[in-house]
Amino acid sequence: MQGFLRSRKVVGVFIAVIAVHILLGVATFGPSTSADLSDVPVAVLDLDGGGLADEVTGADVAVIDWVRSTDHDALQQQLDDKEVAAGLVIPAGASDTLAALGPEATDPVVLELYVNHGRNPEAARNIQSVIEGLAEGAAAELSAGTLEALGQAGATVAPDAVATLAQPIRVEAVPVNAPASAADAQTPLVLVAMLWIGSLIATLVSWLGLHRKDTTPTGFLGAQLIVVAALAVVQPLSIVAVGNWVLGMDIALTASLFGALALTTALFFLLQSAVLNWLGFGGWPILVLLWLFSFTLLSVPAEALATGYRVLIHSWLPSRFPYEAIQGIVHFDGAGQAGTMLAISAAIALGALALLLASYYRLRGRDLSVNPIAERVARAGGSDTEVSDTSDPSDPGGTVTTGRGSDEPDPLATPAVTEPGEQARAGDHHPARS
């Protein structure tokens, strides 16, 4: 114990703890704690042309980036393509209606706000709140000016006109591409997370199991390709069943969704296997970092991420593209750039396949009979003993043997104890009599 406490390994313990704190802080909690929604694209369809649109959107609001839309069809396309988080429609004749406000009863101007919940429910709620606040501000200013003018003129306001004068502009929110429930809103993230974990388990188990004395580099890669082909069929069926029967979700396994899940399974398995084939257990931290960053960043609206997270990490994450593809299939009926994201996912999967096949040259220079876990344990213990798997291929447990020859005595063996009489008899020699 004292030897350990006096060694450098004690310092290593504290360094490891601090490193884990930093890693968890940056990868797991950093994206949410530093989140600040800004520059969210919102479309404006101005059918009035009388200046009300400029009055509502003229306020300096950092959270919104206003973009113009030409007609209802264009606005619908922007919403379905996830280009905008919401669409505000200024009705025709709105300015004339507001200009005619007076003591007689009139109807208020109703602004239609199409809120794109399928894009990101959290961002949608925030944007709806901000736009309603802007409309209330414009209405309050207009109401105060109108009432002041009527008071100076000594006009009598009809009872039916009071409500309109108090709030001449109203916002009517219309949900678009809205998930059926809170659980439905989480469906894309849940599916991608389960696909990653399932693929990772299959990758690790197959990679370890293929390290046997009879395995060649060609057989190693061939087995991995067989596993990914089977996994791409089994895993989509499994996670949808778990989601529906265990988690209480309502996932319809359409052909397009099954294809997206199968492609995502292949992408994840090929990428993970390529990393392990090239780097061995040294590639494990890469896969852990991808896991930690991916599902924290995907749960936060892209416009809320800090610039470093959004540009340096979120923009290229392999899990981001299948996530958006599945989101388009589940919440946008196949729109929402699902086709584009599936094409990018397929390109990444092909790149991972090429990287996996190229690892043949790496595997050819490696002793595939060595058990990676036993080898790592031996290295950690400072042993230079060769650890290999000499078991029969049908034996899943394997037999670990050392590099010591069969005639070499085992230094850990307990010496045999013999009686004095036996020792004397063993030393007697009886030459043959002639």
Residues 100-120: tens digit of each pLDDT: 887 776 788 999 999 999 988
Residue at 207 is within a domain: yes
Whether the predicted pLDDT of 422 surpasses 70: no
Contact present, 111 and 169 (Cβ < 8 Å)? yes
Residue at 238 is within a domain: yes
Whether the predicted pLDDT of 395 surpasses 50: no
Mean per-residue pLDDT of the chain: 84
- What does residue 169 show for φ and ψ, rounded to 5 degrees? -125, 130
Structure tokens at 356: 């996996």
Mean pLDDT lowest among 87-91, 315-319, 361-365, 383-387: 383-387
Mean pLDDT lowest among 183-197, 229-243, 296-310, 380-394: 380-394
> Predicted confidence band at 192 (pLDDT cuts at 50, 70, 90)?
very high
Largest CA distance in the chain: 154
Whether the predicted pLDDT of 214 surpasses 90: no
| pTM of the predicted protein model | 0.80
Does 249 share its domain with 273? Answer: yes
> Predicted confidence band at 317 (pLDDT cuts at 50, 70, 90)?
very high
Stretch 45-55: mean pLDDT: 90
* Residue where one domain finishes, among candidates 176, 194, 222: 176
Does 249 share its domain with 308? Answer: yes
- CA-CA distance, 189 to 119, in Å (whole number)? 13
Does 214 share its domain with 360? Answer: yes
Does 236 share its domain with 163? Answer: no
- What is the reported pLDDT for 2? 62
- CA-CA distance, 359 to 273, in Å (whole number)? 10
Residue at 387 is within a domain: no
Of 45, 193, 42, 180, which is closest to residue 118 (Cα–Cα)?
180
> Predicted confidence band at 400 (pLDDT cuts at 50, 70, 90)?
very low
Does 267 share its domain with 225? Answer: yes
Does 171 share its domain with 191? Answer: no
Does 102 share its domain with 224? Answer: no
Stretch 159-173: mean pLDDT: 84
CA atoms within a 13 Å half-sphere pointing along the CA-CB vector of 317: 28
> How many other C-beta atoms are found inside a 10 Å radius of the C-beta of residue 183?
15
Does 300 share its domain with 235? Answer: yes
Residue at 18 is within a domain: no
- What is the reported pLDDT for 106? 79
* Residue where one domain finishes, among candidates 176, 210, 231: 176
* Bridge partners for 111 per DSSP: 171
- What is the reported pLDDT for 406? 41
CA atoms within a 13 Å half-sphere pointing along the CA-CB vector of 70: 3
* Residue where one domain finishes, among candidates 150, 176, 202: 176
Stretch 147-156: mean pLDDT: 78
Does 293 share its domain with 249? Answer: yes
Does 156 share its domain with 239? Answer: no
Does 316 share its domain with 298? Answer: yes
Task: Give CA separation, 323 vs 14, 203, 422, in Å.
Answer: 37, 20, 78
Does 331 share its domain with 214? Answer: yes
- Can you give the residue range of the structural domain that contains 192? 182-364
Stretch 353-363: mean pLDDT: 96
> Predicted confidence band at 243 (pLDDT cuts at 50, 70, 90)?
very high
Residue at 116 is within a domain: yes
pLDDT tens column, 250-267: 999 999 999 999 999 999
Name the percent of the chain lying above pLDDT 90: 48
> Predicted confidence band at 13 (pLDDT cuts at 50, 70, 90)?
confident
